[in-house]
Structure 1
Amino acid sequence: MIDGTNIAIDSTKLNSFEKPKPKSKLKDDGKSPNWGKKKDTDGNDIKWFGWKLHILADCKSELPLAIEITPASVNDSILAIPLLKKLKEFYGNTFNVKHCIMDSGYDIKENYDYIMNEFHAQPIIAYNKRGSFAPPEGLNERLHPICSMGYELVYWGKDGDYLKFRCPHVLGKVDCPHGSSWCSSSNYGYCLKINYKKNKRYFSFPIRSSDEWQEIYNLRTYIERCNSRLKEYLNTDNIRSAGIKKAKTFALLNCITLVAGTIAVNVNKSLPKVA
């Protein structure tokens, strides 16, 4: 059932059993419940008092492979590596992970480095603008390189660790007023090669904003289904005991129940039918 080729990481809110307290009276010790805030699918802010359940799930089976519980105030981005380390510790080389899929909350350099260096996989992480009003220098809104006239260079394939981009005027994509000679004296036109493994945040293979990249990123919805099943069917967001240890135990039991139930259903479907 579990494929492990594509894995996704996300967090979901859990309300604590403890009564909410003002921030001035909270213990910031990493073990006590705290206030959290995140945006829903419509971009609205959601606030709650309690915990965050961080889940690493398989995109094929929609089953959790590793989890962690933290106070709600903890940033999502720093939990990706601990979850990936758990996956490696628990399962070793059982899975051939190719893509690690996350939303923009995990868009930090450390996550790209760990995924590519330790897992030899491709991070598929949404770009976080972090309040900037313009894209990085030399790139457009799609994070594709542009020429000196501001036209998007045409992706022309991959050569080893290098992504190749060519002049759009030479390829007939635009009509540049300066022609191709503005950037290059060659008939081939200006050609840019970028080592995507050394520019992990902006570049990937498949390249950002391509149909293939978006298709892989859309697999992130499978972890949202995992979150939904845990909370709607198994009542994970109804913690009835105080403390982070009990909250984690409760979440683990629900994950075990989800996995066991999935196994039972699939075994039943695979049994031969007797007339």
Structure 2
Amino acid sequence: MRYHSLNHKAPSSSFRNAVIRGLAPDKGLYFPDDITALPQDFFRSIDQLSHDEIAYEAIKQFIEPEIREGELKRIVKETLSFDFPLITLDDNLSVLELYHGPTMAFKDVGARFMARCLGYFNKDNNEKITVLVATSGDTGGAVANGFLGVKGVDVIILYPSGKVSEIQEKQLTTLGQNITALEVDGVFDDCQDMVKRAFLDEDITNHMNLTSANSINVARWLPQMFYFLFAYKALYRKYEDIVFSVPSGNFGNICAGMIAQQLGMPVRPFIAATNKNRVITDFLKTKKYKPRPSIQTISN
């Protein structure tokens, strides 16, 4: 599979290069060139497959042969080593619980998958890769846990002082080894700005192999399609019409669900549920992108 920049001003890329670089040279996000739908028999009999089998069949076209079948199956199995229970609330409403991973964040899936891909690609390389991450809490914890002990990869996490929960701060700061957490006197936007400036600073990038484990990285957001497929597996024999409502900030998670839909998962249109931080929602409505400082809410 080849990947292209969504800014369309950079050469096409392999999956390996897209994972290691994070962003394309033109600062665009890498996106798959093609998405081939899976056979409808896959979806008709999806309840006969394990989670590992579903995930492997869904992801393999985007990664093989750069990661061989056996290694990719190992990565999938290690990524999905916890449960994804679907809880029924009433006859027409269910909730997919995504907090049963090691850091209790839905981002555990993407972080663990990316860490293992990056570790695989860098296993025979003498040059270290530095993963630079800004977090408001859950991303940093998931990335720290996912990358802990990965050979040849250092992780630097920037988090805003006093703006993460006590348990999240402990997840960031107590692991040691190849994980470094830096407390920033500011808000999340300041952390994010520092990360962006680092990627644009040639004095840094000429001396360090930098990548990001935020949802700009295709290996972080793409595997999040797995649990949409798991939910479909649990529901499709009970309901003719299935609609996913996805809490959305930067829309990486819902994008992964829509990739599952492009693979042929027969569901209705998605609902992006946003709070007051609705920059992308406003952009989709007005076609004008107007960044603004984040607003503290009970959901972030």
TM-score with structure 1 length normalisation? 0.32
Q: Find the structure with the greater CA-based Rg.
A: 1
Whichever structure has more strand as a proportion of its residues is 1
Question: Does 1 or 2 have the higher relative contact order (CA < 8 Å, sep 6+)?
Answer: 1
Whichever structure has more helix as a proportion of its residues is 2
